[in-house]
Amino acid sequence: MSASLPPAIKDDFPLLSRSVHGRPIVYLDSAATSQKPRAVLDAMAVYYATVNANVHRGAYEIAAQATEAMEGARRAVARFVNAASANEIVFTKNVTEAINLVARSWGGANLGPGDAVLVTEMEHHANIVPWHIMAAERGFELRWIPLTPDGRLDLENLDRLLDGVKLVGCTAMSNVLGTLNPIRRLADAAHGAGALLLVDAAQYVPHLPTDVQALGADFLGFTGHKMCGPTGIGVLWARAELLDAMPPFLGGGEMILDVRKDGFLPNEIPHKFEAGTPPIAEIVGLGAAVEYLSGLGMDRVREHEVSLTAYALRTLSERYGDDLVVHGPPEPAARGGVLSMAYRDVHPHDVSQVLDQHGVCVRAGHHCAKPLMRQLGVGATARASLYVYNDESDIDALADALAEAGELFAW
């Protein structure tokens, strides 16, 4: 474990104490979902055991406590990303829902024939498919920022690409390449062209200090389950004036102030976008995850991951040379701890299955990024992804297990 984080941090995560196939588990799939510390598990259990009630409408004691637990978590999330107000934090199911909310609500009200939306070739499907759907309905153009050979954005023709664009959608960190994108530069360029910037920060917020105001974004989404929190809870942050102007995304309870036979009056933000009973326990769990990560210190989290990524790249290169390719920028400081690998001619799913027999958990597939896979000229990769609870022994276990895959599939 890096000196920047406590060496006993694995003890905070109960699942990491178990074995699979008779071997200690080595969890290297945090880009898909992270493990949960006891602090998060306990917070959710305490909520259900002591204050379980619906929020905002009850006048009795535990209903008020449940409301405070949820709204306290909202305030904690706002502090974590330096939002100007907790009212700019909208709880969603995940980043996918957050982006769909923007596409359907803001896009439905602002996009039409003659307009364009600009995304990058490294986007997750969650930041592609909603725009395809809306383009088919509204008749606007979908454009693409290309990539350089080393997996960065090719911004040479950005001014031309921005002509007529109303919104730019970009991942802050690629879930395949690990590339850290220049969000502030994109924000300034987008605003200079009269466009807004939407950031998919699913891979960024869990790993780096995040200041939405300094980034200059207009919309930014992230998800709880990749940052030590539970599944089923995500966040859309947006500037308050944008949320105020946008129509509701879903209709029903909680998102209204009044309903009449001839219409309705929507609630104030953020509740206008939170129809129905929210996932209260999951929100409480996200709040606990934010407090846990804040206690570690996000600067220290980033320092740890840069150091561990450097060790991983060095170890894999020394052990396997040209037999193994890690896609994306070669400099650890320019990327996150996401290692998408091509190992000889061994299929990524075969690599993953062999690693599993050694207790090493990695993800194999297209990682919901098929346009990027086509740019890389591959159908899939085996992806190892790092987080706060990983250390050099996990990288050594990965490297040793890869040797077995090479021997097993040697022709």
Instruction: Decide: 177 and 151 in contact? Cβ < 8 Å.
Output: yes
CA distance 271 to 248: 10
Kindly give, in sequence order, each residue whose CB lies less than 8 Å from that of residue 8, ignoring residues fewer than 6 positions away: none
One of 170, 228, 361, 368 is an active-site residue; which one? 368
CA distance 356 to 73: 36
Q: Name the maximum alpha-carbon separation found in the chain.
A: 73
User: Is-catalytic flag, 361?
Assistant: no
Distances (CA, A) of 331 to 2, 179, 290, 310, 324: 18, 10, 28, 8, 16
Question: In a 3-state reduction of DSSP, which class is residue 257?
Answer: strand
CA distance 276 to 251: 8
CA distance 405 to 261: 66
Nearest to 170 by CA among 156, 157, 152: 152
Cα 112 to its chain centre, rounded Å, is 29
Residue 361: HSE in the Cβ half-sphere, 13 Å Cα cutoff:
21
Residue 79: HSE in the Cβ half-sphere, 13 Å Cα cutoff:
13
Strands (E) in 187-228, as ranges, are: 196-200, 219-223
Distances (CA, A) of 206 to 11, 112, 238, 301: 19, 35, 18, 9
* Catalytically annotated residues: 368
